[in-house]
Structure 1
Amino acid sequence: MRLSNDRYGLNEAEFDKIFCQWNKPNTSYPSDKTINQLFEEQVKKTPNSIALVYMSQVLTYKELNQRANQLARYLRKEYRNKTSTPLTANTLIALRLDKSLEMVVAVLAVLKAGGAYVPIDPSYPPDRLAYILDDTKAQIVLTQQHFAKALPATTQVQYIVTDLDSDIYNTVDGDNLKEYATAQDLAYVIYTSGTTGKPKGVMIPHKGIVNRLTWMQSEYPLSAQDVVLQKTAYVFDVSVWELFWAHWYGAKLVMCEPEGHKDSSYLYRLINDQNVTKLHFVPSMLDAYNSYLMANHLTLNPCINTLFCSGEALQPITMEQTYHNAVNKQFKLHNLYGPTEASIDVTYFETFAGHDICIGKPIANTKAYILDESRRPVPINTIGELYIGEQD
């Protein structure tokens, strides 16, 4: 985004705050790395640490990496067999999976194979499933055994069952693959709800996610003692940082059961049992969780030190109730904002009880301006349109 190059009509203090303080200079990040490369680097550091927990199932970093490598190799072989061409960067591979260990393995496998994953909710009706498969021209769908029989029979798409008891994980090489994609290539395509028309696929490259999560780590550092809860459906962009952030920095990722994010009683027990330290709530779901706590004379789980909100406007009453329920002295509630097209979130704000809430300042290597109809920055406290862009 380039702004009109006149003086903008701002006084010196406003100019300095808008252009220098609120929109900081570029910061360095591994812009040449892919999501899977950064995961593999962490695997080398902590191979035997627990990476992933789902119900009673556990995978170490080494085990998760090996299974993803095996599925990636199998995927590349099956893609070539089906199409007579190699799986190249930006190839779209659809996923139709429940929240599970298989879901995480499949996402990593697609990236390691060099493709981009397209998440499909298992509850989508047949016409929406067919639309996404047709729109992406996906040749392969990774799924689970309990969905395989319900999928429409077709010669256009090949279904690969990814269950962890599959022979894939007994017969295929588990070593790291060579890198097939670059930071500029696609990592995933998430489809919009389609409420204003046909769903549209939002294409996001590795580079944007690497910047987003590198910034997140600098702002909210994870350690090996942290536990991140993965509860957002993978068809929503919040799931992206839930899925990848922990595994770049040696933390543990705990997955809730399908539909478990809607059950406050289940979440409360899971968070306590797994000592979850960082998690996300859509504000309306945080309202429901706060109501559950108060109705049952409970406090916010003491293990939680960082809670993120996004997806809806965070209301003052929600913030105040959350701080009222919190007993951890280090607890903080953070408000994040951003459209899916901009790699999840682009602004951030740390809330404080008794203070106003806003969407905050731009994350690293991102600019945000409030502009008038002529695309000129407006004075502070003046209404305009929000423009978001990369740093020059």
Structure 2
Amino acid sequence: MSVTKILLRNNLHKQCFSADDQVQRAHTLPTLLLSRLQALRNETAIADSQKNYSFEETVLRAITIAITLRRQGGVRYNDCVGLFIEASADLALGMWGILFAGAAYLPLATDYPPERLSYMLNDARVKLILSNRHSQSYLAGLPLPDVTICNIDDMPMASFEEMNQLLVNLYEQDGTDLAYVIYTSGTTGKPKGVLISQQAIVNQLCWIAKEGYLDHSHRILQKTPISFDAAQWELLGMCCGACVVIAEPGSNRDPESLVRQIKQHEITTLQGVPTLLQALSELNDFSSCHSLHSLFSGGEGLSRKLARCLLHIMPKARLGPVIN
């Protein structure tokens, strides 16, 4: 079943505006992703060590998940849905399924202690958690009264009519609707939930695309833990036309593994805290990551010394925005 055909049937392709108009006209993440579909439908949108999904396959899978969440889970616009999946292509697919359902996702790290997970779920009033077979087992010992766990591995294919209606409804969603909820670390007290609107994250992604930091020729390595806000634009990079490669779990703490994966997947774009970038710069093999041409830094102050060192190792690379 072709998503593009449904868009054409409903004249929704006219709202899948050209790249030149995206900054002015995109209001939500699903419509921004759909705007890439016609040009990139057969290109890879999501990949991990075992699977690849094209833009068409990603959207189709997201729609299937979204319809099941709405039909069986009772999910409605602006509901907060927990996302509990280990680092894999399933994580990105689950995220898009929640977004296509019109809900906001709450990223839940699979290595969080039970008491933190319970606090976040209660504080955000989560009634449904989206998981998969592998990750669901970690929830077994967690007290989850009145919370439904939905498994993306057990979702039936949606009908053409259901897909059609969902896509029509997507274009009625507003930029003020929620995209995701992110919790602070809680180092100065209890973790606090921050509500991020659709328009806010769309503005960020459109700016990244406009400045040339991400486009259809880029492959970004998504290695930041999902519980950090910085991980979200990595996961959502396909809205800019980029291919999102999900790094192996724990890669953010393993510079040697990162170098290997950069070479294996021909990664062009990498984000890291200066501590990690420093560790990478000290590896002899880092200079042979010839595909890498964009480096983003955040979380800590990037010194001029380290910036010069990185550009010396990779003279053709571009240092992206620094966020402290």
Which of 107, 118, 129 pairs up with 2:117?
129
Tell whether the 8 Å contact from 2:26 to 2:32 is kept in structure 1 after alignment.
Answer: no
Partner of 1:194: 186
Measure how far apart 1:89 and its partner are: 2.2
Q: Within the alignment, does 1:160 sit opposite 2:150 as a pair?
A: yes
How has the CA–CA distance of structure 1 residues 235 and 156 changed in structure 2, closer, same or farther, with 3 Å as cutoff?
same
Q: Distance in 1 between matches of 2:243 and 2:319?
A: 21
- 1:222-254 deviation per Cα after TM superposition (whole angstroms, max 9, x unaligned): 343221111111111111211122x22432211
Alpha-carbon distance between aligned partners in 1 of 2:275 and 2:288, rounded to the nearest angstrom: 16
Listed as ranges, the matches of 1:311-390 within 5 Å are 311-326=299-314, 329-337=315-323
CA contact (8 A) 1:48 1:60 kept: yes
Q: Where do residues 232-311 of structure 1 align in structure 2 (5 Å cutoff)?
A: 232-245=224-237, 247-293=238-284, 298-299=286-287, 301-311=289-299
CA separation in 1, counterparts of 2:291 and 2:55? 23
> What is the deviation of 1:336?
2.0
* Paired position in structure 1 for 2:32: 38
Structure 1 position 95, deviation (Å): 1.0
Cross-structure match for 1:117: 105
Q: Could you tell me which residue of structure 1 aligns to residue 16 of structure 2?
A: none
Higher-Rg structure is 1
Q: Secondary structure at the match of 1:195?
A: coil
Deviations, residues 197-233 of structure 1 (Å, cap 9, x unaligned) = 0000011101111111111111125343221111111
The yes-or-no answer on 1:48 pairing with 2:34 is no
Following superposition, the deviation at residue 28 of structure 1 comes to 8.9
Which amino acid in structure 2 is aligned with residue 108 of structure 1? Answer: W
Aligned residues: 296
- Aligned-residue sequence identity (percent) comes to 31
Partner of residue 142 from structure 1, selected from 124, 130, 144? 130
Cα distance in structure 2, aligned partners of 1:149 and 1:303: 38
Paired position in structure 1 for 2:60: 66
Distance in 2 of aligned mates of 1:309 and 1:141: 31
Q: Contact between 2:70 and 2:76, CA under 8 Å: does it hold in 1? A: no
**TM-score if structure 2 supplies the norm length?**
0.85
- Give the Cα separation in 1 of the matches to 2:135 and 2:202: 32
CA distance in 2, matches of 1:148, 1:223: 34
Within 2, Cα distance between the matches of 1:129 and 1:181?
A: 29
1:229 paired residue number: 221
Letter in 1 for 2:208: M
Q: Distance in 2 between matches of 1:300 and 1:192?
A: 37
CA distance 1:323–1:58, change in 2 (3 Å):
same
- Does the CA-based 8 Å contact 2:213-2:320 persist in structure 1? no
**Runs of 4+, deviation exceeding 3 Å:** 173-176
Q: Which moved more, 1:232-241 or 1:145-154?
A: 145-154
Question: Matched residues in 2 for 1:116 and 1:101: separation?
Answer: 19
Cα distance between partner residues in 2 of 1:73 and 1:30: 29
**What's the CA shift for 1:305?**
1.2
One-letter amino acid of the structure 1 residue matched with residue 65 of structure 2:
L
SS of structure 1 residue aligned to 2:221: strand
**Change in 2 beyond 3 A, CA 1:185/1:323:** same
Give the C-alpha shift of residue 90 in structure 1: 1.6
Contact 2:118–2:143 at 8 Å: present in 1 too? no
Aligned counterpart, 1:84: none
Structure 2 gaps, min length 5: 1-20
- Residue of structure 2 aligned with 1:183, choices 155, 175, 179: 175
d(CA) in 2 for partners of 1:30, 1:335: 22
For the residue of structure 2 that corresponds to 1:117, the secondary structure is strand
How has the CA–CA distance of structure 1 residues 41 and 29 changed in structure 2, closer, same or farther, with 3 Å as cutoff?
closer
More helix per residue: 1 or 2?
2
